[in-house]
Amino acid sequence: MNNPYNIKGPYNPNPPKKKEEKKKRTILDLDEKQLTNVDKIIAIASGKGGVGKSTVAVNLAITLARMGYKVGLADADVYGPSVPKMTGTEGQMPGVEIYDAQGNLVEDYGQYVEDCTEIILPIEKFGVKWMSIGYFAKPEQALIWRGPMACNALKQMILQVKWGELDFLLVDLPPGTGDIHISLVHDIPLDGAIIVSTPQAVALSDVEKGVNLFRNENINKHIYGIIENMSWFTPAELPQNRYYIFGKDGCKAMAEKYNLPLLGQVPLVQGIREGGDEGNPAALLDGPLFDAMKAAALQLLK
Ligand SMILES: Nc1ncnc2c1ncn2[C@@H]1O[C@H](COP(=O)(O)OP(=O)(O)OP(=O)(O)O)[C@@H](O)[C@H]1O
Ligand SMILES: [Mg+2]
């Protein structure tokens, strides 16, 4: 058949199909491959802020490592990460491995690789693998995210990290029961959660929110129990005295109400605060925090 408009070449009734456009990889394509050899993923949560989640998470991780377990900790507080400071790893930059579309490690970083995957290497210190968005931001930089971006950052901190073989991956959550928490329970194969609270009434009312979040019928995640923090204060010069500054046994009563184990009680100790500020977590040494964390760990292992 003649083509009256044949200007550039003969008319082809079956023109070659346009090369199908390659679907661009997005962060949403992250899968659970890096978690294949992780045995238990446990979130450390609380309804209320400032009750000691990060302190408990960091020190529980160190205690489990001291007990001989392989441990990682993902800092899911993408708004206010505290793990780098608490572990003295601030300013360190995690390495990256690049894999091609076939899953082969790309050794030559100068080479252009189409459709590659980047895997972040965790920072290792105190026998624990740490990952935090804080390693990618300046300490004074405010982390301002829209909800979906924050959820993606959280996913990257867990799914895009080369965890290798772990007995425990702890996830330190930001306070509250918002977007991040819902994203976590939907996107990450969580085994369960530990709830941290102080014994005071105002913190306990938030424990109920935390319990209800994980026990919500659409979420339905196991709660390992409650860790009571700042249970009493003992001054160094009066080691036998206990002052119940935030009330006594509040979490014990809450644990009974919800039929949950009380995993441990951590006293308010100046050394715990100093250890956190100085990047030398108190559980590195024997003492009240290590004892409380060990007791909690033994219950987790039951
Ligand atoms: N048992 C304790 N004894 C002394 N100080 C403590 C204890 N637990 C936590 N702290 C201190 O209290 C402050 C708050 O603790 P932490 O950052 O762990 O709380 P958080 O629940 O993670 O807070 P956020 O909700 O902001 O994430 C820190 O300065 C920490 O060092
Ligand atoms: Mg915290």
Separation of CA 52 and ligand 2 centre (Å): 7
Ligand nearest to the CA of 199: 1
**What would the pLDDT profile of 266-283 be if each residue is shown by its tens digit?**
999 999 999 999 999 999
Mean pLDDT on 20-30: 56
Mutation test of ligand 1: which of 273, 289, 293 has the most ligand atoms closer than 8 Å to its C-beta?
273
Mean pLDDT on 193-197: 95
pLDDT of residue 302: 83
**What would the pLDDT profile of 49-88 be if each residue is shown by its tens digit?**
889 999 999 999 999 999 999 999 999 998 889 999 999 9
pLDDT of residue 221: 93
Burial code of 177-200, b = ≥16 C-beta within 10 A, e = fewer? bebbbebbbebbebbebbbbbbbb
pLDDT of residue 31: 85
pLDDT of residue 63: 98
What residue ranges do the domains of the chain occupy?
A: 33-93+122-301
Q: Is the dihedral of CA 285, 287, 288, 294 positive or negative?
A: positive
Contact 43, 193 (CB under 8 A): yes
Closest atom of ligand 1 to CA, residue 56: 18
Ligand nearest to the CA of 196: 1
Mean pLDDT on 40-53: 92
**What would the pLDDT profile of 206-265 be if each residue is shown by its tens digit?**
888 889 989 988 889 999 999 999 999 988 788 789 999 999 999 999 999 999 999 999
* Rounded Cα distance, 133 and 74, in Å: 9
* Encoded tokens for 145: 């995210």
pLDDT of residue 52: 95
Closest atom of ligand 1 to CA, residue 82: 17
Question: Is the whole-model pTM more than 0.85?
Answer: yes
The more confidently predicted of residues 302 and 97 is 97
Closest atom of ligand 1 to CA, residue 289: 1
pLDDT of residue 17: 63
Share of the chain above pLDDT 70, in %: 89
* Ligand 1 atom 5: residue of nearest CA: 273
* Rounded Cα distance, 16 and 299, in Å: 65
Reported confidence tier of residue 40, pLDDT bands at 50, 70, 90: very high
Mean pLDDT of the chain: 87
Q: Which residues have CB under 8 Å from 206's CB, separation 6+?
A: 46, 47, 48, 197
pLDDT of residue 163: 97
pLDDT of residue 65: 98
The topology under which CATH files domain 33-93+122-301 is Rossmann fold (3.40.50)
Residues contacting ligand 1 via CB (< 6 Å): 46, 49-55, 77, 80, 82, 174-175, 229-230, 266, 268-269, 272-273, 276
Reported confidence tier of residue 10, pLDDT bands at 50, 70, 90: low
The more confidently predicted of residues 223 and 25 is 223
pLDDT of residue 141: 73
Mean pLDDT on 9-26: 59
Reported confidence tier of residue 19, pLDDT bands at 50, 70, 90: low
* Ligand 1 atom 12: residue of nearest CA: 52
- What is the 3 state secondary structure string of 69-129? CCEEEEECCCCCCCHHHHCCCCCCCCCEEEECCCCCECCCCCCCCCCCEEEECCEEECCEE
Mean pLDDT on 113-121: 84
